[in-house]
Amino acid sequence: MSTGTADPLFTPLALGGVTARNKLLMAPMSVGYGTPAGMVSDKQIEHYARRAAGGVGTVITENFAVSLGGRQMPLQPIVTEPEHMDGLTRLAVAVHEHGALAMVQLVHAGRYGGPWEEYESRRRLAPSAIPFELLPGRTVTPQEITADEIGQVVSEFENAARMCEAAGFDGVDIHAAQGFLLSGFLSPRHNNRTDGYGGDFDGRTRLVREVVRAVRAATTEGFAVGVHLMSDELVEGGWIIDDAVRLVPLLEDDGADFLFAIPSTFETLRLPANEGLLGRPGYSLTDTSALHAASSVPVIANGGLSDPTLAAETLAHGTADGIALARAVFVDPDWPEKLRTRRTDEIRGCPCHPPLCLQTQLSGAQCSHWPADARERGYLGFSQGALR
């Protein structure tokens, strides 16, 4: 690519009250490097600090659970108790040391609550008790969340956001996509409630709006609040892009500082019509562009943007305000710095499908394209030095 086209990627990006050094973000990616007790581990800190050192302007962590019952993965951090603060604080410091903003993605997994033994005895919370395919060939029926439990979930997001700010993070990113609890409420297919949290558009969007408002109110003005918004469920009778576009100004009123457009859910990704979606370059750009046109806060593009030319063009065409990369900076944390210093030929690509990181995230994500020493160690931190 010509050297000039990438330069706009390396200009500052304002996200609410904070400003990143450039327009590249690390997209949330569950790596399973936390501890079984839900603590942030040293390995995890090194993993994220290494991505910050590689040049992204903002690191958004993988989804951290706002409660034990809202946890999906066995090694996923939880943000609930005072004892979680030490790891969170050290993580924020480590990312800041390398010049990037640090944000935490917060999730309640809802009906996707950890698909392992311990969870079989817990309530699997969903807007309605509608059976769904948890894993290929395994259908489960979740429990309808009660009004009290809804109030509890709002408080959990609020508490987690407050803890993240106290730990020194610059913002949080509320996960309302992929089929987790908040996006389940948006879906006409998964929400048939009649208590004001379901039914029409206002009812189905009520919970996510309450969460955004609560998080906004619990944190200071300078703390950024983002939303990973399900842009389209990609299934007949589901939430569609027009719904998402309609929600954008409302989320802004509620206090959202930036948005992501995330098409599909774990289940709809398995539909034949959506096969191979994650492998398609720029697969969310149509939705991103629609949200961007409706938004006065930054909209971040994510999904198949590892080609530097496509990333730069997405910004140049005004489709989005920032570019988020998940797999590209997992395989090669130096992707941003290599682009900035015009060494794109040295960028390590992520050609494997299905990606090994997806298959290994329950026990600690790995990448088949890491150098041998990183593969042996089980993660790519600092010891491997510069990647070539």
Ligand X SMILES: Cc1cc2nc3c(=O)[nH]c(=O)nc-3n(C[C@H](O)[C@H](O)[C@H](O)COP(=O)(O)O)c2cc1C
Residues of this chain that bind ligand X (CB under 6 A): 27-30, 62-63, 105, 175, 228, 278, 302-305, 325-328, 355, 357-358, 361, 365
Indicate the residue among 180 and 193 with the shorter CB distance to ligand X.
180
Indicate the residue among 130 and 278 with the shorter CB distance to ligand X.
278
Strand pairing category for 171-176 and 258-263: unpaired
Distance CA 187, CA 239 (A): 5
Token reading at 6: 């990438």
Write down the least CB distance from residue 148 to ligand X, Å. Answer: 27
Write down the least CB distance from residue 305 to ligand X, Å. Answer: 6
**Strand, coil or helix: 237:** coil
Indicate the residue among 295 and 302 with the shorter CB distance to ligand X.
302
Indicate the residue among 128 and 288 with the shorter CB distance to ligand X.
288
Write down the least CB distance from residue 15 to ligand X, Å. Answer: 16
Please report the sign of the dihedral spanned by the C-alpha atoms of residue 86, residue 27, residue 332, residue 10: negative
Distance CA 333, CA 298 (A): 24
Indicate the residue among 49 and 261 with the shorter CB distance to ligand X.
261
Write down the least CB distance from residue 135 to ligand X, Å. Answer: 16
Indicate the residue among 127 and 303 with the shorter CB distance to ligand X.
303
Write down the least CB distance from residue 153 to ligand X, Å. Answer: 18
Write down the least CB distance from residue 230 to ligand X, Å. Answer: 10
- Using the structure block, give the residue that is written with the tokens 């050297």: 3
Q: For the chain, how big is the Rg over CA atoms in Å?
A: 19
Write down the least CB distance from residue 311 to ligand X, Å. Answer: 10
Neighbour count for residue 269 (Cβ, 10 Å): 16
Q: Cis link prior to 115 (omega < 30° from 0)?
A: no
Indicate the residue among 193 and 261 with the shorter CB distance to ligand X.
261
Q: What are phi and psi of 330, to 5 degrees?
A: -75, -50
**Contact criterion met (CB below 8 Å) for 110 and 126:** yes
Distance CA 376, CA 249 (A): 48
Token reading at 377: 């160690």
Q: What is the DSSP string of 243-284?
A: HHHHHHHHHHHHT--EEEEEE-BTTGGGSGGGTTGGGSTTTT
